Amino acid sequence: MMSLRTAASAFSTLSTLSAFSALVGITSLAAPAHAAEAKQPASYSNPVLSGFHADPSICRVGGDYYLATSSFEYFPGVPIFHSKDLVHWRQIGHALTLASQLNLTHTRSSQGIYAPTLRCHDGVFYMVTTNMEGGGAFYVHTRDPAGEWSEPVWLNDPAFAMDPSLFFDDDGKVYYTRHGGGEHGGVYQAEIDLKAGKLLEQPRLVWSGTGGVWPEGPHLYKHDGQYYLLISEGGTSYNHSLTMARSPSPMGPYTAYAGNPVITHRGHPELPLQAIGHGDLVQTPEGKWWMPLLGIRPVEQKHHLGRETMLTPVAWNKDGWLTVNSGQPLALEMSGAGLPPAAPWPAQPVRDEFDAPRLALHWTQLRGPGDGLWSLSECAGHLRLKGSSVTMNDIAQPAFIARRQEHMRMRAATQLEFQPAAASEAAGLVLRQNEKNYYELRITGAPRRRLELVERVQGVTTLKGSAELPAGPVVLQVESWPDHYVFSFGSGSGPFKPVGSLPTAPLSSEAAGGFTGVFIGMYAEGAKPRQAMPAADFAWFDYQPVEK
Give the residue numbers marked as catalytic. Answer: 55, 216
Task: Kindly report the three-state secondary structure assignment for every residue of 316-374.
Answer: ECCCCCEEEHHHCCCCCEEECCCCCCCCCCCCCCCEECCCCCCCCCCCEEECCCCCCCE
Asked if the bond preceding 116 is cis, omega within 30° of 0, the reply is no
How far apart (Å, rounded) are the C-alpha atoms in residues 491 and 471?
Answer: 9
Per-position b or e across 270-306, b if 16+ CB within 10 A of its CB: ebebbbbbbbbbbbbeeebbbbbbbbbbbbeebbbbb
3-state helix, strand, coil in the chain (%, to 5): 5, 45, 50
255-256 and 198-199 beta bridge pairing: unpaired
Q: 185 φ, ψ to 5°?
A: -85, -135
Strand partners, 457: 460
- Cα separation, 291 vs 244, whole angstroms: 14
* Whether the Cβ atoms of residue 251 and residue 313 lie closer than 8 Å to each other: no
3-state secondary structure of 24: helix
* Whether the Cβ atoms of residue 134 and residue 107 lie closer than 8 Å to each other: yes
Other CB atoms within a 10 A radius of the CB of residue 526 amount to 22
- Nearest 5°: phi and psi at 316? -95, 125
